[in-house]
Chain A
Amino acid sequence: MLVVDVTVAILLTIGMFFMFIGAIGLLRFPDFYTRLHATGKCDTLGEGLIIVGLIIYHLFHYPGTPLVTVKLLFLIIFIFIANPTAIHALVKAAYRRGVKPWRWGEGRR
């Protein structure tokens, strides 16, 4: 069981690192569009890694209920499709409403 535990720990740590990158990007970047770059994608990947780690954990520690892994797989697929679509909807609305993109050398917004 040690190999499984170490794999799950590594996957969870890497996923957590990407989610931290997402939160830090939300604070550090100077403009609305660039902030969405950082969070929308790093968040999605970090979540995917965490849930994959939990699927591996579930397969080895709860062998009686294998259908739950299918539910978690649906969750991953749904997040990979839905998160970029929500980001695209927000960016399209902002562009139509006239939020100007930031160029190198301007002040923070």
Chain B
Amino acid sequence: MEVGGREKMNRGEQGFGIVVTFCIMFLFWLILSGVFDAFHLITGGICSAIVTLISHGLLVKGRGERVLPKSLRLLLYIPWQLWQIVLANVDVAYRVLHPKMPINPRVIEFETSLRGDFALATLANSITLTPGTITIFVEPGKGKFWVHALAKEHADAHLVDKTMQGKVAHVFMEW
């Protein structure tokens, strides 16, 4: 969970990061408060400015390339993911309630072709949300994942089928 060191970004990219972070924080304030008179708007602006000054390097790293197609593909990826979560949760419920408890846990490791921070985090989160697998360790340099799997079918879905890695690579365009 180490936060990677801030790379040297030039002024333009830092300015872009500051503006985007301020807009997101102010949008959150407006949605969560729901009151639109002058006092609340000014207070919201001041609070968003303070938070942005402290932490503008965390949310947005540089400009990023081709953000719009990536965001659209991410929005299309989420319903498929939710359906997988429901299916696999039913499977785990069956395994919990069965009197013999048919589980066969093991630790597997595999390599992917993803290198970016956000892509690795999305795949790790998807693996941990899908029942049957938990991400143990991620190596960012080579895209290696150590995963603890609950049964042989869950392990095969990542070693042999590789559907989830293919979909995430398609979303972030890092084949």
* A–B interface present (Cβ within 8 A): yes
Chain A residues in contact with chain B, CB under 8 A? 17-18, 21, 24-25, 28-29, 31, 33-34, 36-38, 40-42, 44-45, 67, 70-71, 74, 80-81, 84-85, 87-89, 91-92, 95, 101-104
Interface of B is mostly: mixed
A41 near B92 (CB under 8 angstroms)? Answer: yes
- Give which listed residue, A42, A44, A91, A104, contacts B93 with CB less than 8 A: A42
- Give which listed residue, A21, A95, A102, A103, contacts B136 with CB less than 8 A: A95
- Interface residues in B2-46 by Cβ distance below 8 A to A read 31-32, 34
Residues of A within 8 Å of B128, CB to CB, are 40-41, 84-85, 87-88
Residues of B within 8 Å of A92, CB to CB, are 1, 136-137
A sample of 13 cross-chain residue pairs with beta-carbon separation below 8 angstroms, ordered by A number, consists of: A21-B96, A33-B134, A41-B85, A41-B88, A41-B130, A41-B131, A42-B89, A42-B93, A67-B34, A74-B32, A88-B136, A92-B1, A102-B105
Residues of A within 8 Å of B85, CB to CB, are 41, 45
* Minimum Cβ distance to chain A for residue B9 (Å): 25
Residues of B within 8 Å of A18, CB to CB, are 89, 93
Residues of A within 8 Å of B129, CB to CB, are 41, 44, 80, 84
Residues of B within 8 Å of A31, CB to CB, are 105
Closest residue of A by beta carbon distance from B31: A70
Residues of A within 8 Å of B101, CB to CB, are 28-29
Closest residue of A by beta carbon distance from B93: A21
Interface centre among B34, B129, B130, B134 (most CB of A within 10 A): B134
